[in-house]
C-alpha cells in the first residue's frame, strides 16, 4: 500500500483529528499512486496517523477515513458508516427527510447523501469517494430497500478533483418529481433538476422558527427557491406573503407548492432579481412586518470573502430598510467561509447604515441532521438570524 509521510512540523490540526491533509504538509509519498486509492499516512517519525484516500491532483491531497490502525477500508466499512449515520439521525429525531450523510461530519469526507422519504440523492465530491459509489449504493439498498437512488454529481467542485460533472439514476429509473412532508406541509421536490440535491433540508428547523413572528404579518421573502419559508409563513398565519426568486423554474415550483398546501391566495411569487426588487420596493416606500432573506453562497474562495461580506451587507441593508418599526428580519448565510461572528458583524453594519437597532430573537445554525463537529469549521456553515428591527 502507498504510504504518505508527513513533514516533521505538522500542524496540530491533523493531530487533533482533522481529516484533511494538504499537499504542503506532505514530506514524501512512497509508492506509485494513480489517484483515488486508499493509502496510509504516517508522521515524520513513522507513527501511524490514519488511512484515507489520496488525490495528487487536489490541494487536499489526502482525506482520512479512519484513525484506527486495524480498520480496513472496504465495502463493509462504508456499510457500517452509513448505518451508523442513520442510527444517529434516528436518535436525534430526523427520519423522514434528512441529510443522511454529511461528509466530514459523518467521517465520510466528500460524501453527501440526502434522504427524501424513501428516495436518496447522493453526491461524491472527491475522486477517492467516487470510486466507492458502488459500495455506497449497495449499502443504501441493503439498509433501506429504497424506492430510488439518484446521483446529483453535476457540481463544479468535482472538476477540481479531475471528475466529470454528471447526474442520473443509480437505481432503476423512477419519477424524480416527488413530494415530501415538512413541519406539516407538503413540498414538491424535483430531484433531477432542482438546485443542489433538490431541496434545502438544512433550513428545516429554521423554517419553524418564524412561526410566531409571522402571525398577522405582511411578509416578504427574497431568494425563495421553491417557496419553503414563504409557505411556512402563510401556514403560520401571515396576512400576506410575497416571495421572490430569480429562477423561473423555482418560482413555478413555489406556486405549485403554495397551491398544494391551499395557500395560493395568500402566498404570491415573482420571478425577479431580488437585489433590484428590494431597491425598487424601497423607492416605492413599501413596508413589511417581516423580511426573510436566504441568498445563495456568495463565495467559495477565500480571496472573495470581502465581496461576499459586501453582498450580505447590501442585501441586508436593503431588507432592513423595508421593515416596519418593531418588525423582524429573518436572514441566512450559507457561505462557509463567512464565519458566524463575521456574519453578525455584517448585519450590524447594515443595521447601523439603516439607523436601526436589532434585538436578536434567535441565532442558530443548520438543522442537526447536518451535524457540526466542533473544531471542524467547515461543518458549521449555516448562519440563521431572527432579529427584531427597532
Ligand atoms: N430559501 C430557500 C433556499 C434559497 S437558495 C429554501 O429554503 O428552500 C438561494 C436562491 O436564491 C436560489 O433559489 C436562487 O435561484 C436564488 N437567487 C440567486 N440569485 C438571486 C437574485 N439575484 N435574485 C433572486 N434570487 C436569486
- Same domain membership, residue 369 and residue 238: yes
| Best mutation site among 295, 298, 308, 381 for ligand 1 pocket (most ligand atoms within 8 Å of CB) | 295
pLDDT at 144: 98
Distance from C-alpha of 203 to C-alpha of 294, rounded to nearest angstrom: 10
- β-pairing, 38-42 vs 3-6, is parallel
Q: Are 105 and 368 in contact (CB under 8 A)?
A: no
Q: Is 265 helix (H, G, I), strand (E, B) or coil?
A: coil
CATH number of the domain bearing residue 264: 3.40.50.150
Q: How far is CA 366 from CA 88, 200, 322, 380, in A?
A: 16, 10, 26, 8
- What pTM was estimated for this model as a whole? 0.96
Q: Closest ligand 1 atom, CA of 225?
A: 13
Say yes or no: 230 and 268 in one domain.
Answer: yes
Residues known to be catalytic = 334
Co-location of 147 and 40 in the same domain? no
More confident residue, 325 or 375: 325
Same domain, 383 and 280: yes
pLDDT digits (tens, 9 = 90+) for 159-209: 989 999 999 999 999 999 999 999 999 999 999 999 999 999 999 999 999
292, 220: one domain? yes
* Dihedral class, residue 17 (left if φ above 0, else alpha if ψ from -120 to 50, else beta): left
Please give the pLDDT value at position 373: 94
Q: What percent of the chain has pLDDT over 70?
A: 100
Give me 167's grid cell: 447526474
Does residue 217 share a domain with residue 357?
Answer: yes
Pairwise CA distance, residues 154 & 192, whole Å: 10
Number of independent structural domains in the chain: 3
Residue pair 130/124 in contact by the 8 Å Cβ criterion: yes
How far away, in angstroms, is 139 Cα from ligand 1 center? 33
Query: Comparing 118-132, 189-203, 372-386, which segment has the lowest mean pLDDT?
Result: 372-386
Domain extent, residue 8, equals 3-66
Amino acid at each position: 500500500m502507498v504510504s504518505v509521510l508527513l513533514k516533521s512540523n505538522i500542524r496540530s490540526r491533523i493531530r487533533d483529528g482533522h481529516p484533511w491533509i494538504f499537499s504542503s504538509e506532505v514530506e514524501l509519498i512512497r509508492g506509485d499512486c494513480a489517484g483515488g486509492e486508499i493509502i496510509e499516512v504516517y508522521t515524520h517519525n513513522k507513527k501511524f496517523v490514519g488511512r484515507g484516500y489520496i488525490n495528487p491532483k487536489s490541494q487536499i491531497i489526502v482525506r482520512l477515513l479512519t484513525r484506527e490502525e486495524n480498520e480496513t477500508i472496504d465495502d463493509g466499512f462504508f456499510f457500517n458508516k452509513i448505518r451508523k449515520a442513520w442510527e444517529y439521525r434516528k436518535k436525534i429525531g430526523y427520519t423522514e427527510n434528512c441529510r443522511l450523510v454529511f461528509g466530514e461530519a459523518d467521517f465520510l469526507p466528500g460524501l453527501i447523501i440526502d434522504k427524501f422519504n424513501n428516495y436518496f440523492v447522493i453526491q461524491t465530491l472527491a475522486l477517492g469517494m467516487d470510486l466507492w459509489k458502488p459500495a455506497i449504493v449497495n449499502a443504501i439498498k441493503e439498509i433501506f430497500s429504497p424506492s430510488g437512488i439518484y446521483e446529483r454529481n453535476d457540481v463544479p467542485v468535482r472538476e477540481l478533483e479531475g471528475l466529470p460533472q454528471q447526474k442520473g439514476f443509480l437505481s432503476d429509473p423512477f419519477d424524480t418529481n416527488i413530494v415530501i412532508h415538512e413541519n406539516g406541509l407538503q413540498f414538491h421536490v424535483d430531484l433531477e433538476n432542482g438546485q443542489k440535491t433538490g431541496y434545502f433540508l438544512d433550513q428545516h428547523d429554521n423554517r419553524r422558527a418564524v412561526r410566531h413572528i409571522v402571525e398577522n404579518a405582511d411578509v416578504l421573502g427574497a431568494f425563495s427557491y421553491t417557496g419553503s419559508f414563504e409557505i411556512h409563513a402563510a401556514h403560520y398565519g401571515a396576512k400576506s406573503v410575497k416571495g421572490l426568486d430569480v429562477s423561473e423554474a423555482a418560482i413555478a415550483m413555489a406556486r405549485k407548492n403554495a397551491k398544494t398546501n391551499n395557500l395560493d391566495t395568500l402566498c404570491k411569487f415573482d420571478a425577479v432579481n431580488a437585489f433590484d426588487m428590494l431597491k425598487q420596493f424601497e423607492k416605492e416606500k413599501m413596508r413589511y412586518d417581516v423580511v426573510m432573506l436566504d441568498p445563495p453562497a456568495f463565495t467559495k474562495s477565500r480571496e472573495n470573502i470581502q465581496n461576499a461580506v459586501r453582498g450580505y451587507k447590501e442585501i441586508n441593508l436593503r431588507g432592513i430598510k423595508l421593515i416596519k418599526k418593531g418588525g423582524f428580519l429573518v436572514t441566512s448565510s450559507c457561505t462557509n467561509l463567512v464565519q458566524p461572528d463575521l456574519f453578525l458583524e455584517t448585519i450590524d453594519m447594515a443595521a447601523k447604515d439603516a439607523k436601526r437597532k436589532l434585538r436578536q430573537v434567535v441565532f442558530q445554525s443548520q438543522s442537526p441532521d447536518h451535524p457540526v463537529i466542533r473544531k471542524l469549521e467547515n461543518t458549521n456553515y449555516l448562519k440563521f438570524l431572527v432579529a427584531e428591527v427597532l
